[in-house]
Amino acid sequence: MPTSSDNLMKPIIRVQNLAKEYTIGASKSAPASLREIFSGVVRSPFKYLRRNGRAANEKFWALKGINFEIEPGDTLGIVGSNGAGKSTLLKVLSRITEPTLGRAELYGRLGSLLEVGTGFHPELTGRENIYLNGSILGIGRKEIERKFDQIVAFSEVEKFIDTQVKFYSSGMYVRLAFAVAAHLEPDILVVDEVLAVGDVAFQRKCFGKMGDVSQRGRTVVFVSHNMQAIRSLCKKAIWLDEGQLRAMGDSDAIVEAYLQANASHEAVMAVDEVIASLPPDPNFQLRHVSLVQDALPTNLVLSSKPLDVVIHFSVLKKTPGLHVYVELLDAEDTVILQSINNGDEPEPPVVEAGDYACRVTFPAEFLAPRNYEVVVRAGIANSRSCLPVPVRLPFDVQASGRVNRAYPGYVTPGKLAPLLNWETEFSPRKRTQ
């Protein structure tokens, strides 16, 4: 196999018309004898075949018509919902699964970290598995010995390095497996969502190491549901949807398109049903509320863009002190802030009868990636509520664009994450003679 150094002008990965088909609904029990097969088919062939799972077997295309190329040194993120074909694609690239159609060409050594349990022999110790994996990658024993201490130190499993890995916890396994995959310097490093098994501190080390690998000119292919990690680590991304390549390009653009497409419009429609069921009020009628980003209703919000809360209501008769307001709640139902539509008036205003449309905006780069709820309320000052049942709009904020973070994949503590202005002065340290 040619190495990446021999193919500097060529893609390091070339995928052409790749497709993978699986059969689901396989037979659960085999017939007892040839006579049973013959008599069953003669008596009722279609019924027999359905009962034994032959005709009922369904063909399922996990991947279909995939085409893309990756240049040496690229960092590629793969996004998509569960069942989109992400893991199948990695298994094909890692030579674990053979494609049904098409081909995947790799020009260099590949190290992969897929699901827990892949790549290590359970009966061998951690030490023995390091040497085994190095041999599979075609690395000589002296080179493995030179890297051995770095691998063990990174994995933080020194105490158990001579223990059979079948006794390792999933976290210990992932620590050692990632350390081996990253430190034996493959030309292509393939990592699945398995990093989610590790603790936060170890994930930080892994993201840093993958960044280091890419800076050294190696190629990284990374699958994750952590969109912040994909944005931070990967220059490019591909979006898989039901086994097909829906889009490929700059990671920021691909992630934003993916998140917007997966916003739940069912939740948006459910709010209208709640409003329709509200008891009537003599002064106030709520007609519609929505969360809007990029001029579209959504409940999946990008942190890099403003979020509008739009409220349509009718005042049925002239009412002193009538107001509508929103509350922002976290996942624990703690009120983070409250904003009133006429809250800056010195005295409660008199609101004329008519139709109203209010819009309040949460600025971009304000909310941390978390789950929230906007609660819409209405009332008459010092009198009563006009909405005995508040309308709740749950939404999820995904990190995008500029975010306040310490490293790729970092989750900002707290509910708000504004990018505040910092001023830093630098003075070079004077050398002492």
For 76-90, write each residue's pLDDT tens digit. 999 998 889 998 999
Sequence-ordered list of residues with C-beta below 8 angstroms from that of 420, at least 6 positions apart, any chain:
none
Distances (CA, A) of 165 to 94, 160, 244: 22, 9, 37
pLDDT above 90 for 265? no
| pLDDT of 374 higher than 80 | yes
Q: Are 309 and 341 in contact (CB under 8 A)?
A: no
**Where does the pLDDT of residue 393 fall: very low under 50, low under 70, confident under 90, or very high at 90 and above?**
very high
Average pLDDT over residues 355-384: 92
C-alpha triplet 395, 398, 422: angle, nearest 5°: 120
Q: What is the mean pLDDT of residues 179-183?
A: 82
Which segments of 141-283 are extended strands (E)? 188-191, 219-223, 236-241, 244-250
Q: Which CATH architecture has domain 278-398?
A: Distorted Sandwich (2.70)
- CB 88, CB 82: distance < 8 Å: no
Domain boundaries, the chain: 4-9+71-261, 278-398
Tokens at residue 189, please?
């490093």
- SS3 category, 299: coil
What number of other Cβ atoms are within 10 A of residue 142's Cβ? Answer: 8
How far separated are the first and last CA of the chain, in Å rounded?
55
- Tell me the fold of 4-9+71-261: Rossmann fold (3.40.50)
Average pLDDT, rounded, for the chain: 82
Q: Which of these, 68, 60, 178, lies nearest to 113 by C-alpha position?
A: 178
